[in-house]
Amino acid sequence: MQKNIKKLSILAAAAAAAMFTGCASDNGMGTDVERQEGEIHIKALIDGRDIVFFKGNNIWIQHMAYALPGQWAGQNRPIEINTGKNRRDGRESQKWNLEWSGNLTKQEIIEDSPPIPSSGKWDASNFKVDFSTVGYGIARVKSYPSAINDYTLVLEFDDVEPDGAHWYSADISWTNSDDRAGPPAE
């Protein structure tokens, strides 16, 4: 009888731990336990308007107006992608030579990068995007990753300035380092 009670106690503790683990993960209400963080930097030659999508480790572009990204005055410049890891250790940027199907590029896998989060609540407070350009165009976050957009970060580059293409870049970083999130998963 004592052995059965011990076995039942162990089973009950294991079941409670499993139930707690299930509840501690994202429940769609933003209760992330697992730490999610990363960095990506992109740089592109833009003339016109282009929408850049990030989902997981994938990136793709929807071209909206004027010249295709990277193509200006006979040039065909790749998109440069740096992750936090290769920016810190000085490794060369990943060069993305765009392949088009209509107005969409083929998806490219971002190498050596933690994926864009696929759970939790993300906004300007925990998902930072710093834009820079040598022109006077508009760069903005159209939407942060969320359940509504299947956890896709969407950026817009709109080179409204006349006189050709301009370089645009975005430094993207994210962390759910909120103390309420708990320790990182092992």
pLDDT tens for 38-68 read 899 999 999 999 999 999 999 999 999 999 9
Helix (H, G, I), strand (E, B) or coil at 145: coil
Asked, for residue 103, whether it belongs to a domain, the answer is yes
- Write down the pLDDT at residue 181: 44
Asked, for residue 185, whether it belongs to a domain, the answer is no
Asked, for residue 31, whether it belongs to a domain, the answer is no
pLDDT > 70 in the chain, percent: 72
Q: What is the mean pLDDT of the chain?
A: 78
Q: What range defines the domain where residue 129 resides? A: 37-176
Helix (H) or strand (E) run with residue 11 in it: helix 2-24
Q: How far is CA 167 from CA 8, 35, 56, 64, in A?
A: 65, 33, 25, 17
Q: In whole angstroms, give the CA distance from residue 99 to residue 68.
A: 11
Specify the pTM.
0.75
pLDDT exceeds 50 at position 108: yes
Give per-residue pLDDT as tens, 142-173.
999 999 999 999 999 999 877 788 999 999 99
- Write down the pLDDT at residue 130: 95
- Write down the pLDDT at residue 24: 36
Asked, for residue 137, whether it belongs to a domain, the answer is yes
Asked, for residue 9, whether it belongs to a domain, the answer is no
| Tally of domains in the chain | 1
Asked, for residue 17, whether it belongs to a domain, the answer is no
Asked, for residue 127, whether it belongs to a domain, the answer is yes
CB atoms within 10 A of CB 45: 23
Report residue 177's pLDDT band, with 50, 70 and 90 as the boundaries.
low
pLDDT exceeds 80 at position 91: no
